[in-house]
Amino acid sequence: MDSKEKQEGLSRRDFLKMSAAAGVGIAIGASGLGAIMGTGKSSSTKTAANAADADKGDSIPMYGEHQAGIITPQQTYMYIASFRITAGDKANVVRLFRDWTKFSDLSTSGGTMKTGDNPMLPPSDTGETLDLPASSLTVTFGFGPTFFSDAGKDRFGISHLAPRYLKDIPRMARENIDASISGGDVCVQVCAEDQQVAFHAVRNFIRLSTGYATLKWMQEGFISATPGKTPRNLFGFKDGTANGLHDSASGYDDVVWAGKDEPAWLQGGSYMAYRKIRMLLEMWDRTSLTDQEATFGRFKESGAAFGAKGEFDTVDSSKLPDTSHVLLAKESKQSIHRRAYSYTDGVDPRTGNVDAGLLFISYQKNPEEQFIPMLRLMQNKDKLNEYTMHVASALFACPRGLREGQYIGQNILEG
Ligand code: HEM
């Protein structure tokens, strides 16, 4: 590999070698091989965040200043998977991240590896998206505290590059956290307008991790809304209204994007806070509309705050009940960018009730200042606690966006 290729981390030769080694041909969607290798790719005409007009066939570029999937308008389906790295040395972690990056590039552009020329080998792609478009697929990577240092051990010689605020979310009142579905070294959030496309991506990340990492936990979520309208959660309330308050480049700089006080690889990235929150639907459905609305301090149908008419009218805190969710959020005087998905996990065998809730995900530049005090206030006082239980938790640092030729985590592993 010449020095330029080496610097870029991923070369055309490299890519073709991977394809050849796997015995594959390459079937590519609308964008072509040139697109996959970065020549004339559609990413130059659109930025990752600019996906408001996304439809099923659209591809959202994965390259840019910020990773896609953070301020990208929410797609309908999401999978989030967290891995434990089992590779014992840095070189193997690099190998895994390069493979993941190549696959991300290919699948977000609507491409897929063909099933293979050699019938004696397993097909190199699982195949379920061969006839499907990119479907606004986005892939967002984040690193957990244990990636940098695990039980005091600097496994990959990168602990000096750990972000300022990356540590487990502290224990909260009233939570019942299951460690087996919390935390992890690396997470991948995959979102798409087509569930099969989203699952294909997460499945292939898992497949490519064989020998390098093991899957710790995985969750699937959904959220649906008429374009331009705020989606509703499983309590039937509009969820995400207040995101509009920081919907501008300067707003995202203030709320979401990590700044100069962080290691270079994180500047322009963000922290992802994750809570799996069980919602007691049966109990909620027996609660009067008056009590439901008092829980949030907003009206169910319109989404307007108490004392206001429209969903986006200014909130007057003096009109909100003392323990209402929105009042507590306002009292914290902090903003976060929420990007939550609903989940259903079948039946709770102990009660016969539906196991369902919210995969709460928020992005913020400083979890210690923004997210944690807000969570603490809510866990102590929120009327919503009567109907919810936090069962899983994680914090990940999501690097800034990639330039073509770079691989995810390169600035950490080669930093
Ligand atoms: C199952 C759990 C939860 C449900 C059902 C829920 C639901 C809602 C709803 C309906 C709203 C009002 C509309 C809006 O602005 O989006 C809201 C607002 C908000 N929620 Fe939650 N939420 C949950 C958990 C959390 C958690 C864990 C946090 C953070 C610690 C949080 C932070 C916020 C914030 C910051 C607002 C905006 C308030 C404002 O400025 O108007 N929520 N939530």
Digit-coded pLDDT (tens) for 86-113: 999 999 999 999 999 999 999 999 887 6
Query: Hey, what long-range contacts does 146-155 have (CB within 8 A, 24 or more apart)?
Result: 146/84, 146/183, 146/184, 146/185, 147/85, 147/185, 147/186, 150/185, 155/85
Q: What percent of the chain has pLDDT over 70?
A: 86
- What residue owns the CA closest to ligand 1's atom 30? 375
Ligand 1 atom showing the smallest separation from residue 235 Cα = 5
Task: Please state, in angstroms and rounded to a whole number, the distance separating the CA atoms of residues 258 and 5.
Answer: 29
Q: Whose CA is nearest to atom 21 of ligand 1?
A: 325
Question: Greatest CA span in the chain, whole angstroms?
Answer: 70
Residue 274 has pLDDT above 80, yes or no: yes
Mean pLDDT of the chain: 88
Residue 213: enclosing H or E segment and its boundaries?
Answer: strand 213-222
Around ligand 1, the residues with Cβ closer than 6 Å are 233, 235, 237-242, 275, 277, 279, 296, 298, 315, 325-326, 329-330, 336, 357-358, 360, 371, 374-375, 378, 384, 388
Instruction: Quickly state the pLDDT bin for 25 (edges 50, 70, 90).
Output: very low
Is it the case that residue 370 has pLDDT exceeding 70? yes
**Looking at the predicted structure, is the pLDDT value of residue 329 above 60?**
yes
Residue 100 CA: distances (Å) to CA of 65, 196, 363, 410: 19, 18, 22, 12
Query: Does residue 54 register a pLDDT over 60?
Result: no
Shortest-distance Cα residue to atom 43 of ligand 1: 239
pLDDT, residue 28, reads 33
User: What is the average pLDDT across 125-136?
Assistant: 92
pLDDT for 11 equals 32
Provide the pLDDT for residue 113. 67
Q: Are 59 and 110 in contact (CB under 8 A)?
A: yes
Binned at pLDDT 50, 70 and 90, residue 57 comes out as low
- Per-residue confidence (pLDDT) for residue 343, from 0 to 100: 98
Q: Is-contact 365 160, C-beta < 8 A?
A: no
* Residue closest to 76 by CA, chosen among 224, 289, 273, 213: 224
Q: Does residue 21 carry a pLDDT above 70?
A: no
Nearest CA to ligand 1 atom 11: 239
Average the pLDDT over 231-250 and give the result: 97
- The reported pLDDT for the residue numbered 220 is 98
AA letter at 93? V
Looking at residue 50, what is its pLDDT? 38
Residue nearest to atom 6 of ligand 1 (CA): 239
Is there a contact between 80 and 189 (Cβ–Cβ < 8 Å)? Answer: yes
How high is the pLDDT of residue 19? 39
213/84 Cα distance (integer angstroms): 5
Ligand 1, atom 24, residue with closest C-alpha: 360
What pLDDT does 115 receive?
A: 67
* Helix, strand, or coil (residue 84): strand
What distance in angstroms lies between residue 239's CA and the mean position of ligand 1's atoms?
7
330, 332, 325: which is closest to 360 by C-alpha?
325
Q: Which atom of ligand 1 is nearest to the CA of 245?
A: 40
Asked if residue 1 has pLDDT above 90, the reply is no
Query: For 27, which DSSP code?
Result: E
What is 294-312 written as a DSSP string? HHHTB-TTT-PBTT-SSTT
Name the pLDDT band for 78 (thresholds 50, 70, 90): very high
Distance CA 397, CA 408 (A): 12
The predicted structure's pLDDT at residue 49: 39
Dist. CA 326 → ligand 1 center (Å): 7
Round to whole Å and give the CA distance between 320 and 22: 60
Provide the percentage of residues in the chain whose pLDDT is more than 90.
80
Residue 415's pLDDT band, with cuts at 50, 70 and 90, is confident
Can you tell me which residue has the tokens 């190199």? Answer: 124
Q: Which atom of ligand 1 approaches the CA of 334 most closely?
A: 35
pLDDT score, position 56: 57
Arithmetic mean of pLDDT, 319-342: 98
Q: At 191, which helix (H) or strand (E)?
A: strand 186-192
CA angle 95, 100, 104 (to 5 degrees): 150
Q: Determine the pLDDT at residue 114.
A: 65
Q: How far is Cα 238 from Cα 135, in angstroms, rounded to an integer?
A: 24
pLDDT tens-digit series, residues 174-207: 999 999 999 999 999 999 999 999 999 999 999 9
Which segments of 118-160 does DSSP mark as H helices, in order?
145-148
